[in-house]
Amino acid sequence: MTTATSCSNQNKFRSMYLGALRRGAPLGIFYALLLFALFPLMYIITLATMRPMEDVFYPIHHLQGYAGVYNSVSMLSVPIICAIIPIVFGITIFSYLHNKNSTDVFHALPMKRQTLFTANYLAGITLIWIPLIVSFFVVAIAGAGSATILEWLYSPARIFTELLGWLVVVTAVFTITAVIAVQAGNSFDTVMFSLAFCGMYPVILFFAKTAAENLLLGFTGRWSTGLMNDTNLLALSPFTVMMYRVTAGAYSYEDMVSITASSRLAFYSWAIVIWAVITVALYFVANLLYVRRKSELAGRTTSSSALNCIVQYIVTFVFGIIFGLLLHSSFNSRTMFWVGAFIGGCIAFAVFEAIAARGFKTFPKAFVHMAISVGLTVGYVAVFLTGGLGYETRIPAADKIESVSINYNGRYGYRYLYDKNGMIKYTTDEYYSSNTKDSVKLTSPEAIELVRKMHAELVNELKARDGIDNDWYSQTNIRPQIAYHLKDGKTVTRLYTECPTDTAIMLSGLEDLEEFKRQTNPSFLLKAGQLKGIDIMNRLGLGNAFENLTDEQQKQLLDALQNDTLNEQIKDILNQTYDAVGYIHLIADESKIKEMTEIPSNSTILITEQHTNTIAWLKSNSFYKAMEIDKSKLSKVGISTQNSKYMGMNSETIYFYANPVNQMMDGDEVFSNEYSDDTWFVVDDDRAVVEQLYELARNNGSISNNDYQLYFQYGDSKNALLLYLPENKMPQELANRYKNGMGDDLNTAGTIVPYASKG
């Protein structure tokens, strides 16, 4: 029976509307009580436990979200309730569509189907909206009574915009459920498909993005902005579109103003508006589908419907990608990803088909759909495994490149940005900002060609392997991020998660280029008049502070450092051509900064014998004595090969650079005869050996896998800088002796060997 006589009698519409309210009333009462207990009541209890405002941050510890109305319970319970309850109401209100007898009775009523659907739909909306509206009014009233405690955290405008957002969410979920209910034959399918269509969009894109970033070399992080940003994906589901507002928190009025003006809040606000428009459109779609629905559909499974096919393909894709990720991670093999995608896709399809069809009777016919859905999943993976249609090897020609940016900073690390107001944000895209600048932009043909060669070598190295090389000895901590800025205005960006040592060492050539030095070296970044003072240290990192340098002295020092820096060559560092003399640490005076200035995270410059201009300045100003070392004060040395403070290959350099900023050690750790800080030291107090090793030790240079780290006890100092000694420079007799002392592993290493007492 598929027709119904029409009736526009307003009383009958009201009767149908009230009847639907009565059917949903028990659920409505339960929902109202549950929502009140987990939202307004939680808010009231939180307010009752607050002290009068003594600390401006105090309410923040209890109330969260942009509206400032959620505690740790309600910020979880409200989203869950608003996601699940509308589906339950949809099933309850439209349950008659899934029972043959009930369907015949309702459709026999003298009422148009549009009217019948509208009456039931509005009843469901009423039952969902009223408790939600009442709850927010209670919260607003309770907040008004505690406004003196909450101060800026209480805002009726923010509370009611929050209410509007949740009204859109519950209406969207209920409407999607209504669309599903008029096409499904039973309540189980309605629940299954409603959950899928409400939540599948961010899930699909997230796993599609994850597969691409795991398989396609250079693609890591490319989808970290815009709609494909992990956080922004939440806007694609009514289940999660409010999560930013729920979790956003401010610790001051200024923070709240900043959030209110942020592009991310605007993005989610527009997302809610779009969901409101989609909901209106879906209402008319549901109404149209209801008119065309066949009553005979009631009670049937939906295994052969378009709904089932769509969800089945999505489930196959998502679980295929998930299983591919598992095998990819377990076997450390990119090839295993497509094997996992095939196996996971087949399993997911079979399980879903059995659930949807309530058994395996449809399987012979389902194999065609299985082949298509699994094939699409494996095909998607194969595109990335085969290089993304040339994406992996596509490097712009040198004559098309205007400049190149790369996140290699040399020994002085990333830079903080300051202006007359202090530290400022360095914005890298619409949604991300940082206090640091961690890349250089190079324009010289030499720099561009060097980066291109390194890039090509990196791609060849990575493509030659099936998985990630987990041997940390052969890897640096450099994660290359390369951006080619083309002459036609386009930008080609590649981001990598690993870089072999032999490939990364090619970047050291950048440090010979003047434009690189001018962007990274502290002597070029700081100006005369901006220095609070300097620390002058010997090669063990020990020394004195000197303040009150005149502007002229600062200018002379910076000029000397600049001239010496321009003459410095990376080959001299790697080959240890010049002996280290000491360090100069430039201390910036932030109050003296009047214009945009970059201050390196490491402003300590190693002075070698090559720095003739700087050494001359130190001597002329009577500062050089602070760099001198009295070898008679060297009493003992600690030797290790397993020290966590060994900072050779890292995100700043690809060679060893003893850095007083992070490689100073406490002598008690070295000479305590205990395992400490992932470090075992063998101690030698033979004065002749100590002086011999001091002469051999280096402050910088190339490194290998088994270099020694040396700590020298100098006078009564409790700290000293960790130096290093190449394995091939250690005298063989000492190497054999220390090997016996260190043992073959951590369990036997660390024995204190008093060599001096052995003569």
pLDDT single digits (tens) 278-331: 999 999 999 999 888 887 677 676 655 788 888 899 999 999 999 999 998 888
Q: How large is the C-alpha radius of gyration of the chain? A: 35
Asked if residue 52 has pLDDT above 60, the reply is: no
This prediction has a pTM of: 0.77
> Which band of pLDDT confidence, cut at 50, 70 and 90, is reported for residue 378?
very high
* Measured CA distances, 552 to 547, 548, 710 (Å): 14, 11, 39
pLDDT single digits (tens) 349-374: 999 888 877 777 777 777 888 999 99
Return the top range by mean pLDDT from 56-65, 415-424, 627-636.
627-636
Residue 208 CB neighbour total at 10 angstroms: 16
* Dihedral pair phi/psi, residue 458, rounded to 5°: -60, -45
Name the packing angle between helices 113-145 and 263-292 (round to 10°): 150
621 and 640 belong to one structural domain:
no
Question: Which of 55-64, 659-668, 712-721, 734-743 shows the lowest per-residue confidence on average (mean pLDDT)?
Answer: 55-64
- Over 614-637, what HEC string results? HHHHHHHCCCHHHHCCCHHHEEEE
Mean pLDDT of 154-165: 94
- Does residue 423 lie in a domain region? yes
pLDDT single digits (tens) 657-712: 888 877 788 887 777 655 444 456 788 889 999 999 999 999 888 766 568 888 99
* Dihedral pair phi/psi, residue 712, rounded to 5°: -105, 130
**Token digits of residue 399:** 């004559």
Residue at which a domain ends, from 493, 517, 541: 517
CA dihedral 297, 302, 304, 306 (to 10 degrees): 100
496 and 639 belong to one structural domain:
no
412 and 557 belong to one structural domain:
no
Domain span at residue 734 reads: 632-759
Question: Which of 102-116, 560-574, 586-600 shows the lowest per-residue confidence on average (mean pLDDT)?
Answer: 102-116
Cα separation, 654 vs 662, in Å, equals: 16
- The pLDDT, as a whole number, for residue 713 is 92
29 and 168 belong to one structural domain:
yes
The whole-chain average pLDDT of the chain stands at 84
- Does residue 392 lie in a domain region? no
Residue at which a domain ends, from 517, 535, 567: 517
- The pLDDT, as a whole number, for residue 656 is 79
> Which band of pLDDT confidence, cut at 50, 70 and 90, is reported for residue 611?
very high
- The pLDDT, as a whole number, for residue 12 is 78
Give me the residues paired with residue 606 across strands. Answer: 583
- The pLDDT, as a whole number, for residue 470 is 54
Mean pLDDT of 609-635: 95
> Are the C-beta atoms of 59 and 46 separated by less than 8 Å?
no
- Does residue 276 lie in a domain region? no
67 and 82 belong to one structural domain:
yes
- Does residue 209 lie in a domain region? no
> Which band of pLDDT confidence, cut at 50, 70 and 90, is reported for residue 226?
low
Mean pLDDT of 482-497: 93
For residue 69, the Cα-to-chain-centroid distance in whole angstroms is 27
Quote the percentage of the chain above a pLDDT of 70.
86
Cα separation, 270 vs 281, in Å, equals: 17
- The pLDDT, as a whole number, for residue 618 is 96
Mean pLDDT of 520-535: 93
> Are the C-beta atoms of 378 and 342 separated by less than 8 Å?
yes
568 and 698 belong to one structural domain:
no
Residue 743 DSSP one-character state: -
- The pLDDT, as a whole number, for residue 425 is 58
Q: Which residue has the higher pLDDT, 105 or 673?
A: 105
**Token digits of residue 585:** 């640490």
Number of domains in the chain: 4
Q: Which residue has the higher pLDDT, 194 or 743?
A: 194
- The pLDDT, as a whole number, for residue 252 is 65
598 and 642 belong to one structural domain:
no
538 and 657 belong to one structural domain:
no
> Are the C-beta atoms of 100 and 187 separated by less than 8 Å?
no
Give me the residues paired with residue 583 across strands. Answer: 537, 606
- Does residue 220 lie in a domain region? no
- Does residue 201 lie in a domain region? no
Asked whether the CA dihedral 11, 12, 16, 17 is positive or negative, the reply is negative
422 and 459 belong to one structural domain:
yes
- The pLDDT, as a whole number, for residue 708 is 87
655 and 758 belong to one structural domain:
yes
Cα separation, 480 vs 454, in Å, equals: 10
- The pLDDT, as a whole number, for residue 679 is 52
Mean pLDDT of 128-143: 96
- The pLDDT, as a whole number, for residue 431 is 40
Asked if residue 753 has pLDDT above 60, the reply is: no
> Which band of pLDDT confidence, cut at 50, 70 and 90, is reported for residue 112?
confident
Cα separation, 164 vs 159, in Å, equals: 9
Q: Which residue has the tokens 């060297």?
A: 634
511 and 603 belong to one structural domain:
no
> Which band of pLDDT confidence, cut at 50, 70 and 90, is reported for residue 467?
low
- Does residue 735 lie in a domain region? yes
511 and 550 belong to one structural domain:
no
- Collapsed DSSP state (helix, strand, coil) of residue 356: helix
- The pLDDT, as a whole number, for residue 412 is 87
Cα separation, 699 vs 414, in Å, equals: 21
> Which band of pLDDT confidence, cut at 50, 70 and 90, is reported for residue 136?
very high
DSSP 569-586: -HHHHHTT-S-EEEEEEE
Residue at which a domain ends, from 468, 483, 517: 517
- Does residue 333 lie in a domain region? no
Ramachandran area for residue 529 (φ above 0: left; ψ -120 to 50: alpha; else beta): left
Asked if residue 653 has pLDDT above 90, the reply is: no
How many helices (H) and strands (E) in the chain? 24, 22
Q: What is the largest CA-CA distance in the chain?
A: 114
